[in-house]
Chain A
Amino acid sequence: MRPPEPQHFAMFPTLVSSWNIKGHPCEKTVIDMIETWEQVGQHRLVKGGESSYLTGNEQFLSDKRVVDLWKTLQSCCDTYCEEAGIDYTLISTSWFNKMSEGATVGAHRHERSVISGAYYPYIADGSNPLVLESPIQQLRMNDCIIKNTNFSTYDQSVPIHSGILVIFPSWLKHYVDPNPSEKRYVISFNTIRHADKGYVRTVKDYRMEDQNGTR
């Protein structure tokens, strides 16, 4: 007689959410902004590409031309927090990276942020995915892994195409392998706890400004 099937409990997962916002009303504007933005330079993590991340306090999404995009991304952050069961967050800093063929992004996490996002307004076909590193890798010193499964893998790639938004916990290390395509634009952003917004002067909740008629 076959023994009864075991109950599998896939415990303590990390939530990563992906939205398809292709065709967003701000899409063309934001691509134009990326292509004509003057304050770009080299970033130590973005090899072979350009970044608008220069001071660490960039507010790319605060530009009034893309406030509707800010609201969409903020709404997705709210949904993520509800599903994860954590306090609401507010977009704090935002910047973009422009990558061409061969460009990479080294493994990193986003310190002093709660959740982070990567929105891809335009990427050429064949661009490399975002790869996330397992947070339990360091615990598995004794394991001899012989097969890649959802339980054993050390790296998980999230497929992307133009219009995809990926939201993940800021502590989750991630990277991009050498990009094979000619063009890969990504707008990244960090967040703070909504309850902490009074402590950070540069953070604004544009939904509230609409209500107050101050914009």
Chain B
Amino acid sequence: MGLGNIIRAELPLGPFDKADFNLFPTLVQVHCFDNHPANDDIVNFIENCKNMSDWPKDVGHGSTSAMHYDPVEKAHGSTNCLDLPEFEKLKRDIENRLVDYTRTVGIAGVELTKSWFNIQEAEGFVAEHRHDLSIVSGAYYPYVDEGSAPIVFRNPISGPKIAERPERNTEFSTDGMEFNPRSGMLVLFPSWLYHRSYYNKTKKRITVSFNTRHLEVCYHDLENPHQFK
């Protein structure tokens, strides 16, 4: 309370009868990389990758590079696929879009930490999850068959709505929102936002997923530095 970092909603100028405010929204950004020059190489790399494992049954159904045990690093999922040469151009483009996302939200810049890819075929799915320890996460679809399963975000404020009963689906009452993927689409979202993918009905749905962490914060850039004391 009283930190001075309050946004003021503005009433319409002059006489008015009613004004609506859509407060505290969650930003999900969709970028389109149609005909991305690296796409063919990326899809080719992923389809021929040998270091794939099945998701555990409670996590989903499909194959992923995230669970691969690296005998050199002696760890699971140590491969950061966006650091591979085939992904170099895509990585740069994702980093640029992350700048746009963080500026729009008003949070400090981020850098990629971990990235992996998944292949879902018919009946593939990913159970609901969030990306702990990350700031902004993303899903890039280098190739998806038309009609592939959507990514579905759960309404983060459904908990306190226990006292009300939805009468019809609106942006205020909905339990979730889904996005149908298409080849070349990048979706950026806050890592705390629970999401999943439905059962896939197509033959191929390829995803490159990634997490981020904050770059070192420059306190001179803060608009309200006192809030971090």
Contacts and interface: CB of A to CB of B under 8 A. Distances in A.
Contacts of B161: 169, 171
B27 A10 contact: yes
Contact of B21 (A12, A18, A112, A193): A18
Contacts of A4: 31-32
B53 to A, nearest CB: 27
Contacts of A139: 156, 190, 192-193
Contacts, number: 225
A57 to B, nearest CB: 18
B51 interface: no
A48 B2 CA distance: 17
Interface in B125-182: 133-135, 153, 155-157, 160-161, 163-174, 177
Q: Range of interface residues on chain A?
A: 35 or more
A9 B135 contact: no
Interface string A149-191: 1111111111100001000011110010100000000000000
B160 A142 contact: no
B227 interface: yes
- Most chain A CB inside 10 Å of its own CB: which residue of B9, B153, B169: B9
Contact of A14 (B106, B107, B172): B172
Contacts of A147: 106-107, 223
A136 interface: yes
Contacts of B168: 85
6 contacts: A20-B15, A136-B24, A146-B217, A150-B24, A152-B105, A159-B9
